[in-house]
Chains A and B, each alone.
Chain A
Amino acid sequence: MKTVFQKPRSLSDTPTHYCPGCTHGIVHRLVAEAIDELGIEGRTIGIAPVGCSVSAYNYFNNDMVQAPHGRAPAVATGIKRSVKDSVVFTYQGDGDLAAIGTAETVHAATRGENITVIFINNAIYGMTGGQMAPTTLEGQVTQTTPYGRDASIAGNPIRVSEMLATLDGPGYIERVAVDSPAHVRAAKKAIKKAFETQIKGKGFSLIEVISTCPTNWGLSPGDAMVWLRENMIPHYPLGVFVDWEKEENDG
């Protein structure tokens, strides 16, 4: 019998604790598929953040380290510099990466640290119950912006990929979404490319994945996908922001 579909080898059998409709499951699978296809599980070390995906260390089959809130890129740096042939990725949410861990993110990027960052942007703090994130959209209602995010009080949402693209260190930065099969396929390609960037020593790579949080958005999984498409993508346009290959080809 021919196997046409199976769980990636790099994903463990542990059932995930994620809410119904959460897109972490999709992204975990894409990361695992990329690791499988590149045959790097044995030398891969993943860094789990603080937030909903803290338990990612239970879901991947490669070695895992759990980092303090926002510090995953620093922890990844310590590993990468100490184990030269390792492939190191962090998996971080928007609060972790773009609020408390902004310095770690920016400096790992500008050093051109040869690590891969999977950045889940769902515009909210999930684990703590739906507070305003650095990426929360203007007007978006959260537990801590009950009247909608007012930029004059709470500041403006951060476009991480665009910000990091101004630096010299990154080798590959792309923003993708997981709201449709076509977008999921593109996200997979981007994640694989990010790992390849690291393996080839082309510098820091980051894939920003526009994701949903149906539970804290107060929407059904289906409606959350529609909300993502109609609200998040206009503010966070999909696309490639840095590509070492293109730069090399363009000379």
Chain B
Amino acid sequence: MSEKILMKGNEALAEAAIRAGCIRFFGYPITPQTELAAYMAKRLPKIEGGVYLQAESEVSAINMVLGSAASGARAMTSSSSPGISLKAEGISYIAGSDLPCLIVNVQRAGPGLGGIQPSQADYWVSTRGVGHGGARLLVFAPNSVQEVIDLVFDAFELAEKYRIPAMILSDGLLGQMMEPVVFPDRAPVLLEKPWAANGHRDKRNKNIINSLYLQASELEEKVRQRELRYREIEEKHSKASEYMMDDAEYAVVSYGATSRVAGSAIDAAREKGIRVGLIRPVTLWPFPSKQIFEKSKNLKGILAVEMSSGQMVDDVRLAVNGNCPVNFFGRTGGIIPTPMEILSEIEKMSKGDIK
């Protein structure tokens, strides 16, 4: 199918997952990811082998994903911020068991029950390892409904290649927004999974999916092997897009839905003669640190903009490593920054108001 259709972010994500070969979905109701699960509930029972199951809790849903992924299936769950907290245990076990899967977080404002309006306040928890023990997730941050679709394919394929869980970090804005999209003619790349626990059928030795290693040296070796994969992922798969960066003296660094607003602010700033561009991380882990580091050598200042009190800005500062000053602007509680607000921050920065 290559015609343009109008779709909500959440529904497009669900359809993309199905086209990427994921027909096992385990979920639990929560706003604002609702449409995603509802779409799966409608589509999956009509597909041969399709599984849609509403679990009794987020905790159970992620463990069903663990089981399904352990058996070699492409499996996913979707939730929103408070639900991700509950999934943290399962995600840690999935990572510790070297299982691939997809977790979608349509972020809402927090902490606690917070609110149901858009937010990006789960940056830390997503990129620092959801759950205990210091594991990593691949974290993708689309900024349009079209990009949601494209990144879902990437997420499954990289997760399976490196045997690590992947997350699409969406938000209430991107999830609810309708945009014209085209589904790519992209056949899913399905790898053999000789490690899967799906019954040895008297054809191989038994497989064990496990994250327990009581011998410290054995566990350290496991962690080290995983770290090597993490380093390779950092080397090969970090991704950021740039806008108006060729002659830029200043840059806004922003991801997800917020980067769309930042783009408008940059256009307005350019009209005022300010040479500012946008660096937009598409992967949050691995963070495009090298790209930002290189760019920052020739910049007078960077403004990080997020729907949080400042989380990604930590990674920006680490990447910049003192090359130029880094300012921050954010809104929280579910409030989306306006182009005017961001423009005003860009203007301040260009006049030397560097914090």
State which of B66-74, B234-242, B332-340 sits at the interface with chain A.
Answer: B66-74
Contacts of A83 in B (CB 8 A): 71, 73, 198-199
B93 within 8 A of A: yes
B26 within 8 A of A: yes
Chain A residue at smallest Cβ distance from B90: A68
Chain A residue at smallest Cβ distance from B57: A103
Chain A residue at smallest Cβ distance from B74: A82
Max chain B Cβ within 10 angstroms of own Cβ: one of A58, A61, A71, A84: A71
Q: Mark B88-104, 1 if CB is under 8 A from A, else 0.
A: 01100100010000000
A66 within 8 A of B: yes
State which of A73-81, A180-188, A213-221 sits at the interface with chain B.
Answer: A73-81
Q: Are A42 and B56 touching (Cβ within 8 A)?
A: no
A64-B197, A103-B57 given as contacts; is B24 within 8 A of A82 (CB)? yes
Q: A residues 14-68 with Cβ under 8 Å of B? A: 41-45, 47-48, 54-55, 57-58, 60-68
Contacts of B1 in A (CB 8 A): none
Contacts of B24 in A (CB 8 A): 78, 81-82
Q: Are A65 and B75 touching (Cβ within 8 A)?
A: no
Name the interface size band of chain B: 35 or more
Contacts of B212 in A (CB 8 A): 54-55, 66
Q: Are B64 and A66 touching (Cβ within 8 A)?
A: no
B344 within 8 A of A: no
Q: Are A82 and B209 touching (Cβ within 8 A)?
A: no
Q: Are A81 and B60 touching (Cβ within 8 A)?
A: no
Considering the chains assembled together, what is the distance between the CA atoms of A21 and B228 in angstroms?
44
Q: Are B210 and A57 touching (Cβ within 8 A)?
A: yes
Q: Are A75 and B67 touching (Cβ within 8 A)?
A: yes
A104 within 8 A of B: yes
Q: Report B247 CB to chain A, min CB distance, Å.
A: 52
State which of B120-128, B144-152, B200-208, B271-279 sits at the interface with chain A.
Answer: B200-208
Chain B residue at smallest Cβ distance from A70: B59
A107 within 8 A of B: yes
Within 8 Å by CB of B70, from A44, A75, A104, lies A75
Q: Are B56 and A104 touching (Cβ within 8 A)?
A: yes
Q: B residues 143-190 with Cβ under 8 Å of A? A: none
B65 within 8 A of A: yes
B298 within 8 A of A: no
Q: Are A43 and B201 touching (Cβ within 8 A)?
A: yes
Q: Report A239 CB to chain B, min CB distance, Å.
A: 28
Q: Are B65 and A64 touching (Cβ within 8 A)?
A: no
A74-B67, A78-B67, A104-B63 given as contacts; is B202 within 8 A of A42 (CB)? yes
Q: Are A82 and B199 touching (Cβ within 8 A)?
A: no
Contacts of B211 in A (CB 8 A): 66
Q: Report B44 CB to chain A, min CB distance, Å.
A: 11
Contacts of B53 in A (CB 8 A): 77, 81
Q: Report B311 CB to chain A, min CB distance, Å.
A: 27
Q: Are B197 and A79 touching (Cβ within 8 A)?
A: yes
Within 8 Å by CB of B206, from A43, A64, A77, lies A64
A77-B53, A79-B67, A82-B75 given as contacts; is B210 within 8 A of A66 (CB)? yes
A198 within 8 A of B: no
Within 8 Å by CB of B68, from A47, A62, A81, lies A81
Considering the chains assembled together, what is the distance between the CA atoms of A15 and B55 in angstroms?
37
Q: Are A78 and B209 touching (Cβ within 8 A)?
A: no
Q: Are A78 and B199 touching (Cβ within 8 A)?
A: no
Chain B residue at smallest Cβ distance from A48: B210
Contacts of A80 in B (CB 8 A): 67
Q: Are A74 and B55 touching (Cβ within 8 A)?
A: yes
Q: Mark B244-284, 1 if CB is under 8 A from A, else 0.
A: 00000000000000000000000000000000000000000
Q: B residues 312-354 with Cβ under 8 Å of A? A: none
Q: Report A3 CB to chain B, min CB distance, Å.
A: 21
Q: Are B200 and A66 touching (Cβ within 8 A)?
A: no
A43-B199, A86-B199 given as contacts; is B63 within 8 A of A78 (CB)? yes
Q: Are A64 and B198 touching (Cβ within 8 A)?
A: no
Considering the chains assembled together, what is the distance between the CA atoms of A80 and B198 in angstroms?
9
Considering the chains assembled together, what is the distance between the CA atoms of A64 and B199 in angstroms?
9
Contacts of A107 in B (CB 8 A): 55-56, 60
A74-B66, A82-B71 given; 20 more Cβ-contact pairs under 8 Å: A42-B199, A42-B203, A44-B199, A48-B210, A57-B208, A57-B210, A61-B206, A63-B207, A65-B67, A66-B97, A66-B210, A66-B212, A71-B59, A74-B67, A75-B64, A77-B64, A78-B24, A83-B73, A104-B56, A106-B56
Interface residues of B (CB under 8 A from A): 24, 26, 49, 51, 53, 55-57, 59-61, 63-73, 75, 89-90, 93, 97, 197-203, 206-212
5 chain-A/chain-B pairs, Cβ below 8 angstroms? A62-B199, A63-B206, A66-B209, A81-B53, A83-B71
